[in-house]
């Protein structure tokens, strides 16, 4: 201990000095709970904000579903209390419907999945799992969170414009995007802010993993959650700025009337405005009458390239942390080492790398050069290889394991199942000839929900059940947890599986009223079935909310290591305070030494010193 | 409690702030890559328009700005060097010169912009000028963003305690050199690589 004290005193520089002496003096309420620099508090803040947005985005989804199942009929309960600009006779108007679609996608991706997977777990897990006291740059971390609530409010504020909020889809394609009203601007500004928040977070995660690992912890001894978050941080820092540039260009197209994404000779008539690009537009010798003159010479497809250059890696930003979490949860509850630890890491890296060169598969039908389509098709199908490596390794991990069916583990197992379905439907769309048929149908809606809800969100649930004891010092109620899982899993599949069939039947996505297409009418009972399943799925999430609130108040106090897990965070006190650990952390081995032959207990924490007569375990396998 | 050595020396040997700055600069590169990439695409589809419009830009002023920025990178490096040596007076001098160069750059930029406006050239005139204004505009914003912390350091260096965080100045220096480097790309791409008319 003497050397430890000496070390602490030796630490110089402004970067580290506050970590040591904050343990003593009390922080004010505001600094402790609101503008906190403690990574655990920031993680909880991300969790609260994102769960709120999960509720909002879910509500949007249910309103959308109601309109598709019963076009023109009043939404039960809330239909008659919504303002008249949104609903007529309690039913969603067409304009409001497209706004709901746009905001459902945007909110769920940028304000729910990314902040939960990256903001919450990145903040909570990284410092604890690498055995350090906080992030590399705690204040930057605080700023990265405090951009999120204002960005979210700006996003929602769009609804209160007369012309409504963004309605160009979550992809915001031009020319529709830049010729929309001010709602599109709030959407763009909000995305720019949350992107900036992501970049600050990603920068911080990378610096933390590289610089702040506990004594003895090699890179190849880090849990897969940390590895996944680290690679995700790389995706964020390299992908998000390109979207930021594209957003800046679209804002300019809208307000400065530049022509980055607006082609020449374009005439758009919106309800309240007529937009004409470039003065070449003339009939005979007469210029067309117009209210506004936009610059031309740009290309709408350019936006698509820039947008998907970020937004394809973004799907890996959303799923990779989940993959990491699932790996740790499965290994812990199968009481077995993760199968193929290094292969798992290389698979994450391969997915991340390939993720940057496949964006064109969103654009097979955009008018892009078909030759390019072939390239993107090949690189996309290649992603199936590392993905399959991961799936087989998870199966190898639970193979003949001593599986404990905790709520966390059940969600992790569900992740594998749904990810396989979502992954396989992805291969369909990756193949350009097949995609031509199923493009823009409910098949793709089914696919994205299988990977984002079934994949990312189930992994997030697994993570919440797994780390809740360390976050709040209380155990979640296992019984309620299992109920939440069963209801979610069953009704998730009942909601989204039929969408595959709808899609193959030719049901277009984003349509307002399926009744106007005669060929869709036989599918309408299935649409109504999906809607009822979705409503039950939505209400099942209340079990999670109740569970969290109940357990916070009445839950059993959590022990230090409730799951007999190996990784470093379980060496911290049951409810760690600022500074995280009460002992010095020295790491002796990798995180997956479960059921080591010859040991009495079936786990072997990373921080437990080896006994003297023991052959040291070879690190990282 | 405070005896724990969790906050140890950075594993990589690079201070946290500096490492994060390097990572952030990688992110910044991708930000400008977005603009450069879009520029390349639209240049190829509007080649004549681009070369015609580029001819209207003032190469002389841009060259002047290039010298100013490169000069400011030199003074920035010298101010870091002097702070590390403990020579606070010279640190302050060179930091002040860097700030002045930043102002000089912005003034020249303003002259350029206002002349353009005087010739009825605006961001919406054509897509080349859209790029010209948004790229140089974002670059100028980066110059301003760099000058703000410089200004604080400069003011603080006059206080009793002085300013004695060489690592922070060095980190800011990294950013400043990056901003300089972006201009080194912008100058030829916007001003030089088109045949003048």
Smallest Cβ–Cβ distance between B23 and the set A4, A237, A298 belongs to: A237
Q: With contact defined as beta carbons under 8 Å apart, do A235 and A165 qualify?
A: no
Look at B134 and A24 and tell me if their CB atoms are within 8 Å.
no
Paired residues of A511 in beta bridges:
none
Residue B119: count other Cβ atoms within 10 Å of its Cβ. Answer: 10
pLDDT-based confidence at residue A272 (cuts at 50, 70, 90): low
Residue A244 C-alpha, separation from nearest chain B C-alpha, in angstroms: 7
Domains of chain B, with CATH numbers? Answer: 34-192 (1.20.120.80)
Q: Does A148 reach chain B within 8 Å, measured CB to CB?
A: no
Averaged pLDDT, B23-49: 94
Distances A555 to A51, A242, A292, A463, A475 between C-alpha atoms, Å: 20, 45, 62, 18, 6
List, for residues B43-98, the tens digit of each pLDDT value. Answer: 988 888 888 889 889 999 999 999 999 999 999 999 999 999 999 999 999 999 99
Look at B168 and A14 and tell me if their CB atoms are within 8 Å.
yes
DSSP alpha helix (H) spans, chain B: 16-45, 47-54, 59-85, 88-118, 127-156, 166-186
Structural tokens at position B189: 């791409």
Distances B102 to B140, B170, B178, B188 between C-alpha atoms, Å: 9, 17, 14, 20
pLDDT-based confidence at residue A276 (cuts at 50, 70, 90): low
Q: Report pLDDT for A311.
A: 94
Q: Report pLDDT for B190.
A: 94
Look at A203 and B38 and tell me if their CB atoms are within 8 Å.
no
Residue A261: count other Cβ atoms within 10 Å of its Cβ. Answer: 29
Is the model's pLDDT at B4 over the cut of 80? no
Q: With contact defined as beta carbons under 8 Å apart, do A521 and A438 qualify?
A: no
Nearest C-alpha in B relative to A278: B126
Identify the weakest region by mean pLDDT among A28-42, A194-208, A209-223, B11-25: A28-42
Chain A hits for B168, Cβ within 8 Å:
14
Three-class secondary structure of residue B162 per DSSP:
coil
Q: With contact defined as beta carbons under 8 Å apart, do A240 and A109 qualify?
A: no
**Rounded-to-integer distance, Cα A277 and Cα A74, Å:** 40
Contacts of residue A545, Cβ cutoff 8 Å, sequence gap at least 6: A51
The residue to which tokens 């500074």 are assigned: A579
Distances A283 to A259, A265, A286, A287 between C-alpha atoms, Å: 22, 12, 5, 6
Indicate the fold that domain A43-262+298-554 takes in CATH: Cytochrome C Oxidase; Chain A (1.20.210)
- A567 CA to centre of own chain: 24
Structural tokens at position A604: 């072997």
Residue B10 C-alpha, separation from nearest chain A C-alpha, in angstroms: 5
Look at A8 and B3 and tell me if their CB atoms are within 8 Å.
yes
Is the model's pLDDT at B135 over the cut of 70? yes
**514-573 in chain A: CB under 8 A from chain B:** none
**230-249 in chain A: CB under 8 A from chain B:** 237-246, 248-249
**Rounded-to-integer distance, Cα A439 and Cα A567, Å:** 43
Q: Does A19 reach chain B within 8 Å, measured CB to CB?
A: yes
Domain extent listing, chain A: 43-262+298-554
Look at A584 and B32 and tell me if their CB atoms are within 8 Å.
no
Is the model's pLDDT at B158 over the cut of 50? yes
Nearest C-alpha in A relative to B125: A295
**Best mutation target, A15, A218, A243, to test chain B (most B CBs within 10 A):** A15
């Amino acid at each position: 201990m003497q050397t430890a004290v000496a070390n602490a005193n030796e630490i110089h520089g402004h970067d580290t000095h506050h970590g040591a002496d904050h343990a003593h003096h009390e922080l004010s309420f505001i600094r402790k709970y609101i503008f906190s620099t403690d990574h655990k508090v920031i993680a909880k803040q991300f969790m609260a904000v994102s769960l709120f947005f999960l509720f909002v985005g879910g509500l949007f989804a249910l309103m959308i579903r109601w309109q598709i199942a019963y076009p023109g009929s009043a939404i039960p309960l809330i239909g008659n209390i919504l303002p008249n600009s949104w609903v007529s006779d309690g039913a969603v108007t067409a304009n409001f419907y497209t706004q709901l679609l746009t905001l459902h996608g945007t909110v769920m991706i940028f304000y729910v999945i990314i902040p939960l997977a990256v903001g919450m777990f990145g903040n909570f897990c990284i410092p604890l799992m690498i055995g350090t006291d906080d992030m590399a740059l705690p204040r930057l971390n605080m700023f990265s969170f405090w951009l999120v609530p204002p960005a979210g409010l700006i996003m929602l504020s769009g609804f209160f414009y007369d012309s409504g909020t963004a309605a160009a889809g979550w992809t915001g394609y031009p020319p529709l995007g830049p010729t929309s009203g001010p709602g599109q601007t709030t959407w763009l500004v909000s995305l720019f802010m949350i992107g900036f928040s992501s970049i600050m977070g990603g920068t911080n995660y990378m610096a933390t993993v590289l610089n702040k690992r506990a004594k003895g912890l090699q890179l190849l001894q880090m849990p897969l959650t940390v590895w996944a978050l680290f690679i995700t941080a790389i995706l964020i820092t390299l992908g998000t700025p390109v979207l930021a540039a594209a957003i800046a260009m679209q804002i300019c197209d809208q307000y400065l009337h530049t022509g980055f994404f607006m082609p020449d000779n374009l005439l758009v008539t919106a309800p309240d405005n007529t937009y004409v690009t470039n003065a070449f537009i003339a009939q005979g010798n007469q210029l067309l009458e117009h209210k506004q003159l936009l610059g031309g010479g740009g290309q709408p497809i350019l936006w698509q390239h820039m947008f998907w250059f970020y937004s394809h890696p973004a799907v890996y930003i959303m799923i990779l942390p989940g993959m990491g979490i699932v790996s740790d949860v499965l290994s812990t509850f199968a009481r077995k080492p993760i199968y193929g630890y290094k292969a798992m890491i290389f698979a994450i890296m391969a997915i991340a790398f390939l993720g940057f060169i496949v964006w064109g598969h969103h654009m097979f039908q955009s008018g892009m050069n078909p030759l390019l389509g072939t390239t993107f098709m090949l690189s996309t199908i290649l992603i199936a290889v590392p993905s399959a490596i991961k799936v087989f390794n998870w199966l190898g991990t639970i193979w003949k394991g001593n599986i404990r069916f905790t709520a966390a583990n059940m969600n992790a197992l569900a992740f594998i199942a749904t990810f396989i379905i979502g992954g396989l439907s992805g291969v369909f769309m990756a193949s350009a000839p097949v995609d031509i048929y199923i493009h823009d149908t409910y098949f793709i809606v089914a696919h994205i929900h299988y990977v984002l809800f079934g994949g990312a969100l189930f992994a997030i649930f697994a993570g919440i059940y797994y780390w809740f004891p360390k976050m709040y010092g209380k155990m979640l109620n296992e019984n309620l947890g299992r109920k939440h899982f069963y209801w979610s899993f069953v009704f998730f599949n009942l909601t989204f599986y039929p969408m595959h069939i709808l899609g193959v039947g030719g049901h277009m996505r984003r349509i307002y009223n399926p009744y106007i297409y005669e060929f869709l009418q036989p599918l309408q009972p299935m649409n109504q079935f999906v809607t009822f399943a979705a409503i039950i799925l939505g209400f099942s999430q209340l079990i999670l909310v109740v569970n969290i609130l109940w357990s916070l108040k009445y839950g059993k106090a959590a022990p230090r290591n409730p799951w007999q897990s190996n990784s470093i965070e379980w060496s911290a006190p049951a409810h760690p305070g600022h500074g995280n650990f009460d002992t010095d952390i020295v790491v002796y081995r990798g995180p997956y030494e479960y059921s080591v032959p010859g040991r009495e207990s079936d786990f072997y924490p990373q921080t437990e010193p080896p006994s003297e007569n023991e052959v040291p375990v070879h690190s990282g396998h | 409690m405070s005896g724990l050595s969790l906050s140890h020396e950075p594993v990589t040997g690079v201070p946290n702030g500096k490492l994060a700055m390097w990572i952030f600069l990688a992110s910044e590169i991708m930000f400008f890559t977005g603009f450069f990439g879009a520029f390349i695409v639209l240049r190829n589809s509007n080649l004549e328009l681009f070369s015609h419009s580029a001819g209207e830009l003032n190469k002389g002023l841009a060259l002047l700005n290039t010298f100013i920025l490169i000069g400011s990178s030199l003074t920035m490096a010298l101010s870091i060097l002097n702070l590390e040596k403990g020579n606070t007076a010279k640190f302050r001098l060179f930091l002040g010169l860097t700030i002045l160069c930043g102002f000089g750059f912005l003034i020249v930029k303003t002259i350029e912009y206002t002349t353009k406006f005087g010739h009825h050239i605006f961001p919406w005139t054509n897509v080349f000028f859209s790029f010209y204004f948004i790229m140089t505009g974002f670059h100028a914003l980066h110059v301003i963003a760099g000058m703000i912390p410089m200004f604080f350091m400069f003011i603080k260096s006059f206080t009793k305690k002085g300013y004695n965080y060489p690592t922070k100045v060095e980190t800011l220096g990294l950013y400043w050199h990056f901003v300089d480097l972006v201009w080194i790309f912008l100058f030829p791409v916007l001003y030089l690589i088109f045949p003048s008319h």
